[in-house]
Structure 1
């Protein structure tokens, strides 16, 4: 397996940066759904309030997943800058370009990832 070439690295960097920008925009737009649910029983019935609390919980869970993805993508950018991107964290062999295209945060080659599953 070969190391990544400069064109592949540029493509992956662009993909990571684009996804980061999209996730940050979604995080800013999604902050409204995670606001506390008001207790005013006069304007909102009990069932409606329960629905609002469920929507709030889903918004918070989505935000948590977005934050984790943002952190992972930032880490991948850091590895790119340090020249460590694209190498397996376990065996230190190059990670296939197709795997990195599918998940730019991948830290393990396919063989090591499969070993970890068992």
Structure 2
């Protein structure tokens, strides 16, 4: 697979992930204590905020990984596991473009 196709995949994934980050940031807004939504509803809102915070954190980690690996594209570091120094299969790169590690080292 050529570098331009891989670059396009990374850029597309970055755009999608940036949209998710923005969406999660909006959904993870703090619950105002003076918001009169009822005790049970407030507990649900607090629980949902926790879920959104976790989703936001994962989306930001994915975005960082995508940008990091896009920056390596075209260098000797791209597609090489930093832990075991083995080549990462192109299928793995396309399936998990945010990951820097091969399947074995990612476990």
TM-score (norm 1): 0.77
Give structure 1 stretches of 5+ with no counterpart: none
Is the CA contact 1:12–1:104 (under 8 Å) kept in the aligned structure 2? no
Residue in structure 1 matching 2:17, options 13, 23, 44:
23
CA distance in 1, matches of 2:33, 2:101: 48
1:94 counterpart residue number? 87
Say whether residues 1:58 and 2:31 are aligned partners.
Answer: no
CA distance in 1, matches of 2:102, 2:26: 39
Give structure 2 stretches of 5+ with no counterpart: none
TM-score (norm 2): 0.83
Residue in structure 2 matching 1:107, options 91, 100, 106:
100
| Structure-to-structure mapping, 1:5-20, within 5 angstroms | 7=2, 9-20=3-14
1:70 counterpart residue number? 63
CA distance in 2, matches of 1:20, 1:47: 37
Between 75-84 and 43-52, report the one with greater CA deviation.
Answer: 75-84
| Change beyond 3 A, Cα 1:69–1:46 | same
Residue in structure 2 matching 1:38, options 32, 38, 54:
32
Higher Cα Rg, which structure: 1
Query: Number of matched residues?
Result: 107
Between 61-70 and 96-105, report the one with greater CA deviation.
Answer: 96-105
- Offset at residue 93 of structure 1 (A): 3.5
CA distance in 1, matches of 2:72, 2:20: 24
